[in-house]
Amino acid sequence: LIPAAIESLIVQFARFPGVGRRSAERLAFDLLAAPESRRGELIGALESLGQVGLCPTCGYFTQDGDCTLCCAERDPSVLLVVEKTTDVVAVEKAGAYKGQYHVLGGHLSPLKGITPDRLHIQALLDRASDQCVREVILATSASVEGDATAIYLTGHMRRPGLLISRFGRGMPVGGSLELTDAGTLRLALEGRRGVDL
Amino acid sequence: LIPAAIESLIVQFARFPGVGRRSAERLAFDLLAAPESRRGELIGALESLGQVGLCPTCGYFTQDGDCTLCCAERDPSVLLVVEKTTDVVAVEKAGAYKGQYHVLGGHLSPLKGITPDRLHIQALLDRASDQCVREVILATSASVEGDATAIYLTGHMRRPGLLISRFGRGMPVGGSLELTDAGTLRLALEGRRGVDL
């Protein structure tokens, strides 16, 4: 009953994570009901993604080859290492960090064939060997693979004068003890800090 | 921090109803992480919407000018009148109707400037005047405007031999008495039916 052209758009929308068949239909029908110009604007925005690349230095997005992170005036003595480009956006939203970033493009997972050469690791080792870098903060994900990646990187980056740290672990803001899993509680206990009053 | 090209796509995604800034970011970043072919397929599907039009007879979607409803073998003696093209999809999913449809394109709302000539009403009056049509079911929305539209249509379609009906009102399937609003309860009471055992 639904014309093929609409159906094919619904199928495309349904490929996004978290978008089911029903939501995809809603998106497609909304676009059909909207002025035709909106469709053109969406197509234009999709086409402009062609201008987006990845920075060979830090691994974050570039626009027309320009990296908004590497070219920005940020503290060059600290490197925050994350797995994904979107992690950078998340940390920036928190607004608590002013140093440089390095995006790995994933985490090590030998079983899935993700070995060090498949990630953006050599560029990180090169950057971390620069004497003006004094701290590398490893913010890989809080999973087995994320931890393994952090251990691998630590082993390869270690040098005198370089502090290597890992993101703090423990209770999330607003977290209730009752609903927190055992692993997190253990880490929260280990990572307890003295109270300054 | 987010490159302009990605930002413009996020803005476009956020124009969809029910898609907030955060969901729009997720959609955009998912597309960036996907193989480039997926972007092309999405653009292709959007462009193919140009093949979609509205049937001058029934008001439902056409593909390349062909109406899947009018050209289908359906009972021509019954017309089900709905406000939106998506209403047709909803009724078809229910699978209980085999007659023809007529899409008005909205409901009457003089305050918003939606007068009879702004809707697909003349075509309906023409169709309903055909002697082979024996019933018109008005399934406009269960709102003040939907009711007003139904009353207007009834006044203009009435003729001997034509049954004009309105969608039943009452408790939705799975509805609990406790959570049903007063207006619906009143309609459910008025519309009560004898129990056949």
DSSP annotation string for B6-20: HHHHHHHHTTSTT--
Taking CB atoms and an 8 Å limit, are B48 and A2 in contact across chains?
no
Rounded average pLDDT over A167-173: 83
Taking CB atoms and an 8 Å limit, are B8 and A45 in contact across chains?
yes
Half-sphere exposure of A76 (CA within 13 A, CB side): 10
pLDDT of residue B170 exceeding 80? yes
- Smallest CA-to-CA distance from A166 within A158, A182, A154 is with A154
Distance between CA B42 and CA A13 in Å, rounded? Answer: 8
Chain A: residue whose CA lies nearest to B4: A63
Q: What pLDDT is attached to residue A191?
A: 81
Cα radius of gyration (chain B): 22
Neighbours of A101 (CB within 10 A): 26
The helix/strand/coil state of B54 is strand
Does the CB of A93 have a partner CB in chain B at under 8 Å?
A: no
Taking CB atoms and an 8 Å limit, are A63 and B39 in contact across chains?
no
Contacting residues for A119 by C-beta, under 8 A, at least 6 apart: A104, A105, A106, A107, A108, A149
| Nearest by CB: A5 against B15, B18, B63 | B63
Taking CB atoms and an 8 Å limit, are B26 and A18 in contact across chains?
yes
Q: What pLDDT is attached to residue B12?
A: 97
Average pLDDT, chain B: 91
pLDDT of residue B191 exceeding 90? no
Does the CB of A8 have a partner CB in chain B at under 8 Å?
A: yes
Does the CB of A63 have a partner CB in chain B at under 8 Å?
A: yes
A27 contacts in chain B (CB < 8 Å)? 16, 19
Q: Is the pTM of this model over 0.95?
A: no
pLDDT of residue A113 exceeding 80? yes
Rounded average pLDDT over B97-125: 94
Neighbours of B125 (CB within 10 A): 12
For residue B104, CA distances in Å to A79, A124, B6, B123, B150 come to 60, 61, 38, 9, 11
A67 contacts in chain B (CB < 8 Å)? none
| Nearest by CB: B5 against A6, A30, A48 | A48
| Cβ A145 vs Cβ A116: under 8 Å | no
Residue from B29, B46, B64 whose CB has the most chain A CBs within 10 Å, to mutate: B46
| Cβ B24 vs Cβ B17: under 8 Å | no
How far away is chain A from the Cα of B24, in angstroms, using its nearest Cα? Answer: 11
Two tokens, residue A105: 């493009």
Under the banding of pLDDT at 50, 70 and 90, the label for residue B72 is confident
> pLDDT by residue (tens digit) across A27-47?
999 999 899 999 999 999 999
B89 contacts in chain A (CB < 8 Å)? 1-2, 25
Two tokens, residue B26: 């997720």
Chain B: residue whose CA lies nearest to A88: B1
pLDDT of residue B154 exceeding 80? yes
Q: What pLDDT is attached to residue B88?
A: 93
CB pairs under 8 A between A and B: 128
Distance between CA A9 and CA A28 in Å, rounded? Answer: 6
Does the CB of B63 have a partner CB in chain A at under 8 Å?
A: yes
> pLDDT by residue (tens digit) across B7-20?
999 999 999 999 99
- Which amino acid is located at B175 in the chain? G
Q: Note the residue count of chain A.
A: 197
| Cβ B24 vs Cβ B8: under 8 Å | no
